[in-house]
Structure 1
Amino acid sequence: MKHHRSAPSGHGSVPSDRPWFRHWPSGVPKHIDYPQKPLPFLLEDTARRRSDSIAFSSATDSIAFSKLSQKSDAFASGLHSINIRKGDRVLLLLPNIIEFVISFYGTLKSGAAVVSLHHLVREAELSKALEESEPKAAVILSSLSPAEREVLNKSRVRVIEVGELAASKSISFGQFVSKRRAYPHVSVSADDPAVIQYTGATTGAPKPAVMSHFNLLANAVQNATWFGWDENEKVLGILPLCHTWGCSCCMNSPIYTGARTIFVGRFDPEVVLQTIEAEHATVLYGSATMFSVLLNSPGIERFNLSSLKWVKAGAMPIPVELKRKWDEKTGIPLVLGYGLTEASPETHDSPPNRIREGTIGIPIIDTDAKIVDLETGNELEPGKPGELLIRGPQVTKLGYLNDEEETERALRGGWFHTGDIGIMDAEGYFTLVDRKKDIIKYKGYTIYPVELEEVLYGHPAVRECAVVGKKHSEFGEVPKAFIVCRKGSALTKKDVVEFCEKRVAPYKKIREVEFIECLPKTPVGKVLRRKLRDK
């Protein structure tokens, strides 16, 4: 199965007069006939075509597509043997290792849904997730901390451990997938829940979004088709698979195309750059933070990165200055895009040969988008800021787990309301301005933090920054900047204020400055503004 396409002229449900179709990438279909199958269909199809090809590898391990299919079958059978049935949930607390992929696809084959959390999750977050999602089993590393292990013990979930068993009641992962059992042929629909993924929660409490098998399958196909991937790609698997971005781009899309994903363990810039050269990696995904760290690594000059064909940045607005520096230093254009958990996650990408600086590109295959007025909900003309609304096959229709009110708020009139403020220009390119909840209201004026952050990134002493609104008894809110300085800099608060004053309108100027060692972030590099506001 290479592609399931209709005639190239079809636009699906997207109106044919959308302006971005004038800049559509050559050779990319505007519509795809996606197989109405559960997500594991992609693995089974590729395992037949590329049985002996390596699917995933690390410095110490590798697995072929056929073996991955067999192991995930065994995992599904194992779940069935401990009474996990269709509609149940299995929690994965694993880093980017082959056992994650086996557990993920095995869970889906069993008819259960995956609940995915970062493996370094803390007690409070784990307790909340267990209470909300009620998984019946959990797959963990044997090195899981005692505090988190105690939380699991209290919940009475069946624990499957990767590594040497640390608890007598746990099940060994190795034994779990090596026993021969009858395979449970469960009827799973494309519309059944596949993953419960907690949102990044940069502005508020994490919400458990529910994506169907079809949502995930569609985005895997969309992503690979947009960039023209084939079975020869080598994807560097840096993004955490426990997040929908890593799940789609570093696991599901490579499985769909028959490509190989290379795991590198914890993010280490020297190891990443060395691996690109040694393995001839062709695809690299990362956040602005990751690319900033790579640029500041000595290895950026030492290692040969010429094998890279696609370098994609997302998770947060990418400073224009960072993109320019990356492009100049590496000669490999940094492609910008946009997505969110509830869209599995990708909705916008830059056409590879038509990147427009400062934009998130255009809606991808079968994806519609518009900008609406924050008050009236009416669609706005190009150039005006408003809320970004999206729809497409990758966007959840299941909403949020056990939260009808939030689901109805987000899914209105056939559109998903992102809560992000954006602008569409006359050519159909979108620019992300800010989160609706992050807007600063100063004396009735609207201030977008991202605009101020772009200014701050222009200062040579600023390595990273984030601007938030601080409550003020007289003015409502005032802009406060949190700044991570470059090593050896002598930047002062006065320097920051004066630098901004010369570059923005008086009402937008920075009123407070705090220097910090690092910005709080999600696993994929999004700045947690809510934590900064709480400081």
Structure 2
Amino acid sequence: MVFRSPYPDVVVPDVSLHELLFADLGDRSDRVALVDGGTGASLTYSQLAGAVDRMAAALAARGIGKGDVVGILSPNTPYYAVVFHGVLRAGATATTINALYTADEVAHQLADAGAKMLFTVSALLPNAAPGAARAGVSDVVLLDGAEGYPSLGELLAGDHPVPVVEIDPAEDVAVLPYSSGTTGRAKGVMLTHRNLVANIVQCGPILEVRDASRILAVLPFFHIYGMQVAMNNGLHVGATVVTMPRFDLPEFLRVIQEHRTNLVYIAPPVALALAKHPVVDQYDLSGIDTIFSGAAPLDVDLAAAVSKRLGCRVSQGYGMTEMSPVSHAIPDNRDDISVGTVGVILPSMECRLVDPATGEDVGVGERGELWCRGPNVMKGYLNNPEATAATLDADGWLHTGDVAVIDEGGLVTIVDRVKELIKYKGYQVPPAELEAVLLTHPGIADAAVVGVRDAEGEEVPKAFVVLQPGASLDGAGVMAFVASQVAPHKKVRVVEFIEAIPKSSAGKILRKDLRARETAS
């Protein structure tokens, strides 16, 4: 059974991402496009468009053009957008690199992507420089400056001609972010100009971002969520995007207060801090209209706690890097939809739910792996036809690896991961369900659940728990709390207290790290 969006299909313009965002600035020219939340330094739309052109010209002068790949390793700043869009304007592909990567990880991505050049900042040189060297990338430019390296300012000061580049939106790869997909080592996700343009247009009817919006961009631009939903969606409508280089709770709250950001994109760990940390009460957050969560499931009770405390709307969506990234979201004009769901299917998308065991489609109210198809779905994984074939089938369906349910109203709920379901005595135990229960305990600050083997070799749920400061709770108490709220086969049977739950920059629990702790012990 194929499920479709309740919204009519959208028309996807046959243009490059640069054309979509900058071809006609209209009355946006003098409006502020980007602001550094820390320093207040800003770029208007006309200044941004001009800098992007100069960036493209400088790249062309250095021999960078269509078919080339340029790495970007930097925290969020207004000039991240200049470099990113300058690379695309030159006809090249941007591979965005996690700012927390080690030198080996930087080297792997640069080499795997075939990058010819790297943009970074001085603070990241201890990993960037050796990483680039190991990958054979000698052209390293700094967004700020350091002795022995050319700076972005020097490149932008040049007077080279802006290159004339012919882009095939459907075929030419615009960005190459890296994702583990449904499983395995990070792979280069080939997203074309059309993929990115399509998803921006698809989000339009659902996420009502306006030119008057002030968007807080603390989610990293190297991640598809920050790149597309915060940066590119904001620039498309003429909003003001306020950047932060990293998440620090007091600074995060100060920036919201000072810049009166009304639209704040987060991942669930930030929601946890907003709901429970006492420092939140010291700031005026009345400017917030909507907090939008993505990248990992947001518990409904946690969302309600944030909404009540801050007096704002809390919403969420769902997607993957491989879908540029949004496939589902709660529409901004639907206050009747619970955050327990991820909302509706985006326009111009189709979805199926498929039983992982039988391969047969399931219907309304039944659990199945979520498959998605649409113009925002990736071209494939770079140089990895096997991984591409395992995720993207011949009919264009992307197999997400997530288990979902669709109700009669077309609302989609993600209930777990295909690969993360714990099988206890033949019964399926969804870790996300147990994590949601654990987070309702007032003494628990954060939690994660994975499957481990007991003495008999049976897979059982193990909870990793972070306590609130001053909380008095032992493993027996944790297990009893969960047991009082779930079916017997879902009970937590092992508990370990840790200082922090390992998570990716996008907020996803790094279950493989938790399993590695178990193996090491």
Paired amino acid for 1:485: L
382 and 37 in structure 1: CA distance in 2 versus 1, 3 angstrom threshold: same
Query: CA–CA distance in 2 between the matches of 1:520 and 1:328?
Result: 28
**Aligned residue-pair number:** 510
Query: CA–CA distance in 2 between the matches of 1:264 and 1:91?
Result: 20
Tell me the equivalent position of 1:180: 159
Deviation at 1:408, TM superposition (A): 1.3
Tell me the equivalent position of 1:278: 258
**2:385 pairs with 1:404:** yes
**2:8 pairs with 1:30:** yes
Query: CA–CA distance in 2 between the matches of 1:69 and 1:493?
Result: 57
361 and 394 in structure 1: CA distance in 2 versus 1, 3 angstrom threshold: same
- TM-score normalized by structure 2? 0.94
Written as runs of structure 1 = structure 2, the 5 A alignment for 1:119-518 is 119-157=99-137, 158-166=139-147, 168=148, 170-191=149-170, 192-199=172-179, 204-352=184-332, 353-396=335-378, 398-412=379-393, 413-472=395-454, 474-518=456-500
126 and 476 in structure 1: CA distance in 2 versus 1, 3 angstrom threshold: farther
The question of whether the paired residues in 1 share the 8 Å contact of 2:106 and 2:127 is answered with: no
The question of whether the paired residues in 2 share the 8 Å contact of 1:73 and 1:109 is answered with: yes
Tell me the equivalent position of 2:19: 41
Tell me the equivalent position of 2:28: 50
- TM-score normalized by structure 1? 0.91
Query: CA–CA distance in 2 between the matches of 1:510 and 1:300?
Result: 32
Query: CA–CA distance in 2 between the matches of 1:203 and 1:530?
Result: 10
Deviation at 1:418, TM superposition (A): 0.2
193 and 101 in structure 1: CA distance in 2 versus 1, 3 angstrom threshold: same
Deviation at 1:305, TM superposition (A): 2.8
Tell me the equivalent position of 1:9: none
Query: CA–CA distance in 2 between the matches of 1:202 and 1:312?
Result: 24
Deviations 1:470-529 (A, max 9, x none): 134634421111011101011101111121222222222112111111111111111111
Q: Secondary structure at the match of 2:177?
A: strand
Paired amino acid for 2:487: A
Deviation at 1:295, TM superposition (A): 2.6
Deviation at 1:55, TM superposition (A): 0.5
Query: CA–CA distance in 1 between the matches of 2:237 and 2:515?
Result: 43
Moved more, 500-509 or 198-207: 198-207
Moved more, 239-248 or 262-271: 262-271
Tell me the equivalent position of 2:91: 111
Q: Secondary structure at the match of 1:407?
A: helix
Query: CA–CA distance in 2 between the matches of 1:272 and 1:471?
Result: 40
Deviations 1:111-141 (A, max 9, x none): 1101011222112211221221110000010
Deviation at 1:386, TM superposition (A): 1.1
Query: CA–CA distance in 2 between the matches of 1:180 and 1:235?
Result: 33
Paired amino acid for 1:280: R
The question of whether the paired residues in 2 share the 8 Å contact of 1:203 and 1:438 is answered with: no
Which residues of structure 1 form unaligned runs of 5+?
A: 1-13, 22-28
Query: CA–CA distance in 1 between the matches of 2:454 and 2:94?
Result: 43
The question of whether the paired residues in 2 share the 8 Å contact of 1:440 and 1:478 is answered with: yes
Deviation at 1:174, TM superposition (A): 0.7
Query: CA–CA distance in 1 between the matches of 2:150 and 2:472?
Result: 55
Query: CA–CA distance in 2 between the matches of 1:106 and 1:240?
Result: 18
Query: CA–CA distance in 1 between the matches of 2:250 and 2:24?
Result: 33
Q: Secondary structure at the match of 2:508?
A: coil
49 and 189 in structure 1: CA distance in 2 versus 1, 3 angstrom threshold: farther
The question of whether the paired residues in 2 share the 8 Å contact of 1:92 and 1:138 is answered with: yes
238 and 62 in structure 1: CA distance in 2 versus 1, 3 angstrom threshold: same
Deviations 1:397-438 (A, max 9, x none): x11011111111211122111011111122211111111111
**2:501 pairs with 1:523:** no
Structure 1 stretches of 4+ with a deviation exceeding 6 A read none
Which residues of structure 2 form unaligned runs of 5+?
A: none
CA RMSD of aligned residues (A): 1.9
Paired amino acid for 1:188: I
Query: CA–CA distance in 2 between the matches of 1:149 and 1:330?
Result: 43
Q: Secondary structure at the match of 1:143?
A: helix
Deviation at 1:258, TM superposition (A): 0.8
Query: CA–CA distance in 1 between the matches of 2:103 and 2:256?
Result: 36
The question of whether the paired residues in 1 share the 8 Å contact of 2:307 and 2:314 is answered with: yes
Query: CA–CA distance in 2 between the matches of 1:509 and 1:256?
Result: 47
Deviation at 1:444, TM superposition (A): 2.2
Paired amino acid for 1:422: A
Deviations 1:326-350 (A, max 9, x none): 1221221211211111011111111
531 and 504 in structure 1: CA distance in 2 versus 1, 3 angstrom threshold: same
Moved more, 266-275 or 409-418: 266-275
| % identical equivalent positions | 35
